[in-house]
A and B are shown apart, each in its own frame.
Chain A
Amino acid sequence: MADITVGVPEVRVAEFRTCQFTGLKVDVAAQALIKANAVAAVVFLALGGLMGLLVALTRWPAVHLLPAEWFYLVLTGHGANVLLFWIIFFEVAVLYFASAVLLNSRLAAPKLAWAAFGLMVVGALMANYAVLRGDSTVMFTSYPPMQATPWFYLSLILFAVGALVAVGIFFATLVVAKEEGTYQGSIPLVTFGALTAAIIAVFTLASGAIILIPTLLWSAGLVSTIDPLLYKVVWWGMGHSSQQINVSAHVSLWYLIAALLVGAKPLSEKVSRTAFLMYILFLQLASAHHLLAEPGLDASWKIVNTSYMMYLAVLGSMVHGLTVPGAIEAAQRRNGYTKGAFEWLRKAPWGHPAFAGMFLSLVMFGFIGGISGVVLGTEQLNVLMHNTIYVPGHFHGTVVAGTTLAFMAATYLVLPLVFQREIMFPKLAQLQPYLFGVGAGGISLFMMGAGTLGVPRRHWDITFSDATIGFQHSAGAFLMMGLNGISAILAAAGGILFIVVVVGTAFFGERIKPGHKLTFPLHSGGAAAASHYGSEATAKLPGTIILVTIFFVSFVLYYFINWKYLSELWLFR
């Protein structure tokens, strides 16, 4: 199994093993880095997830767990740990996998990659230190003139620099693979998707540095003021586009999982790749998404930024929304499930946690995260939900039900293929994506419901008990917040199962030896589908057509319902 190969001598003698399941050559140095980044990701997911549960239990009016000081502190930590540290560590692992492993190449600079990892760990720990000290409770967005300690801004900058170096290593690995001829023709679709994620990451991290460096100087007393509006415009250049890194990354994983588990190939490479390109070309403009209720910004600027260009990016997502299930349907029909419109879906490997997680992620990202994102990002409609809890409802649909669930799903493949351990507690692993998925979907929907009823985000007490002039939310709002709390408990239970399975497997799972049969097997044609590219010839996809039709009708209806709500508001101009 350990077939030792020699890389280019004057650069580095890379040690390879050959994966017995996929036939891919795995650089042992890359494998170690993938493991390290994935482990760090899971640690911060556990920490951030726990904080998220505390937040939800506080926002459940009947429970109202934490005192105000702790609530805002924990909420700040929750955002940083899950939205930045969990997701970006995992993305670095995905980038190393998509470059070195999928291209059978050595990783470009493992020593530097370890340095990047070190910087990211230091940044993440320091941020937690700054937040837990209690003097950096500025929320994830850290809007001035509210100020954190310099430690806080410095920690984020260090983390971003580390991540930027990791992205650089990904690019360098692509160059190395090309030069050393480890693959022929174009890079596989999954690597292509990862490449778009990496390109977006460069803009994004640069934008973050541009705004956080002056903010650090301001917090250290070296710069006298930071204009709050200017801060927001630049901050969201990082903030929104950083979420597109996640989209590119998790869509790549959808294709990867579909390839490995049912042998799916894209319907046509051209369409899927162009859809990824649209993310690069248009998503940067979506930063205006967050500035629609801001004073002084021109309406045409808002419309161009959030709409025309953004809808081309939405178009990209809508295309993946057809091509991913379409590729699965085509592959399943080739696998022999041809009866009726939906036999392919019923007979899909629902008992495989990677498939279940991937498909739930696909559906919820589209229906919950995608549709609400477009509505929220519509110039005038935004006034209905700006800064209400609808906003976290939307992004829990994209980032938790979408990205996090997809990353969890991918982990069930990373454990046997990269950690070379057999999944422990397979029954729990099977249950996990459903539990977490239902919880995450519930969180998103109930927060959106509460936001529609006016519940503010980031708010400790929606009963306004200490306010001199009181206000009473509707009973429906309280019900929604209670259901949100219950959903959060479900999601947390799913999160705990995930941690138990992952930690158990990583440290105590049975080592995979040659000839091992996986508990959760890959598709026999999966290896070829993952590493080749090429288009699926089958184009009879009645099931997928029905699914996208349902999606489109929901989208149009929800869009117009919100215009109707808007038309009933007080008049303003």
Chain B
Amino acid sequence: MAVTPPERRIWWNEPIEKVELIWIVIAFFWGLFMFGFMIAWHFIGQQNLSTETYRVDPSNYERKVEAFAKEYQVRDLEGVPVVRPPAGKDVYLLGRLWQWWPVLELQKGQSYRIHLSSIDWQHGFSLQPTNINIQVHPGYEHILTLTPTESGEFGIICNEFCGIGHHTMTGKIFVRAGTAEAPSSTRVAEGTEEGGR
């Protein structure tokens, strides 16, 4: 009873049901559309991850970040330097067990070339509550041009498991309103600096 000759041996010659055919066509074009939309976003969208990446020796990277922090440090936060780089400049951020270093102070609406790397394990750069999530590798220096569009205080948390202290791996970015050139923003900045000095 179970092993009886098939009803239609040549299954590949069967007609396709109309409802199936319509669904296949819809699904196919939807897939094609989604494919096209990703390409289109590189032209119409403002959020495309950069691929600019260099191989870097972790200790060299650490030295670059330290030099950068020393040059633009404006104050301290819980023992971590708060660094205010000029707009348009190269900004270095370092992931290590277990902190994001240093703390950055950026200007709303200004673009920065952010360098990301790790000096030990892989880490996850997760900017909150904005929810931008980028993987950070040791030995690879990833550079993206970032423009904050809102002001306030933002947390960076690590979202790649990096050992037992993973949950303490945090950092911070302050974004100040106003343009960099405007003197008013400098006064705001001086106000905030005092606490740290």
A292 to B135, CA, bound (A): 9
Comparing B60-68, B83-91, B137-145, the segment that makes contact with chain A is B137-145
| B168 touches A (CB below 8 Å) | yes
Q: In whole Å, how far is A382's beta carbon from the nearest beta carbon of chain B?
A: 8
In the complex, are the beta carbons of A388 and B145 less than 8 A apart? Answer: no
A571 to B148, CA, bound (A): 7
CB contacts (< 8 Å) of A303 on chain B: these are: 35, 38-39
Interface residues in B, total, Cβ within 8 A: 95
Q: In whole Å, how far is A158's beta carbon from the nearest beta carbon of chain B?
A: 25
Nearest B residue to A291, CB-CB? B135
In the complex, are the beta carbons of B19 and A299 less than 8 A apart? Answer: no
Chain B 177-193 against A: per-residue CB contact (8 Å), 1 yes, 0 no? Answer: 00000000000000000
The answer to whether A573 and B171 touch (CB under 8 A), given A228-B137, A308-B35, is no
A467 to B121, CA, bound (A): 18
In the complex, are the beta carbons of B48 and A380 less than 8 A apart? Answer: yes
| B195 touches A (CB below 8 Å) | no
| A23 touches B (CB below 8 Å) | yes
Among B11, B16, B124, B146: residue with most chain A CB under 10 A:
B11
Among A273, A471, A573: residue with most chain B CB under 10 A:
A573
Chain B 10-49 against A: per-residue CB contact (8 Å), 1 yes, 0 no? Answer: 0111111111100110111011101101110110011111
| A521 touches B (CB below 8 Å) | no
In the complex, are the beta carbons of A380 and B20 less than 8 A apart? Answer: no
Interface residues of A in 434-462 (CB under 8 A from B): 452-454, 456-462
CB contacts (< 8 Å) of B169 on chain A: these are: 467
CB contacts (< 8 Å) of A323 on chain B: these are: 20
In the complex, are the beta carbons of A456 and B17 less than 8 A apart? Answer: no
Nearest A residue to B144, CB-CB? A572
A22 to B1, CA, bound (A): 9
CB contacts (< 8 Å) of A297 on chain B: these are: 51
Nearest B residue to A18, CB-CB? B2
In the complex, are the beta carbons of B15 and A464 less than 8 A apart? Answer: no
* A146 contact from B8, B148, B162, Cβ within 8 A: B162
| A570 touches B (CB below 8 Å) | yes
| A65 touches B (CB below 8 Å) | no
The answer to whether A298 and B23 touch (CB under 8 A), given A454-B126, A464-B168, A569-B131, is no
In the complex, are the beta carbons of B135 and A468 less than 8 A apart? Answer: no
In the complex, are the beta carbons of A460 and B2 less than 8 A apart? Answer: no
In the complex, are the beta carbons of B168 and A388 less than 8 A apart? Answer: no
* B19 contact from A184, A307, A326, Cβ within 8 A: A326
A387 to B6, CA, bound (A): 49
Q: In whole Å, how far is A176's beta carbon from the nearest beta carbon of chain B?
A: 15
In the complex, are the beta carbons of B135 and A322 less than 8 A apart? Answer: no
In the complex, are the beta carbons of A573 and B50 less than 8 A apart? Answer: yes
CB contacts (< 8 Å) of B47 on chain A: these are: 380, 383, 566-567, 569-573
The answer to whether A459 and B19 touch (CB under 8 A), given A228-B122, A570-B149, is no
Comparing A119-127, A165-173, A544-552, the segment that makes contact with chain B is A544-552
| A151 touches B (CB below 8 Å) | no
Among B34, B77, B141, B162: residue with most chain A CB under 10 A:
B34
In the complex, are the beta carbons of A145 and B130 less than 8 A apart? Answer: no
Q: In whole Å, how far is A31's beta carbon from the nearest beta carbon of chain B?
A: 16
| A469 touches B (CB below 8 Å) | yes
CB contacts (< 8 Å) of A182 on chain B: these are: 3
| A514 touches B (CB below 8 Å) | no
| A356 touches B (CB below 8 Å) | no
| A185 touches B (CB below 8 Å) | yes
Chain A 525-544 against B: per-residue CB contact (8 Å), 1 yes, 0 no? Answer: 00110011111000101001
* B2 contact from A104, A229, A573, Cβ within 8 A: A104
In the complex, are the beta carbons of B3 and A531 less than 8 A apart? Answer: yes
Nearest A residue to B21, CB-CB? A271
In the complex, are the beta carbons of A186 and B9 less than 8 A apart? Answer: yes
| A163 touches B (CB below 8 Å) | no
Comparing A84-92, A309-317, A411-419, A483-491, the segment that makes contact with chain B is A309-317
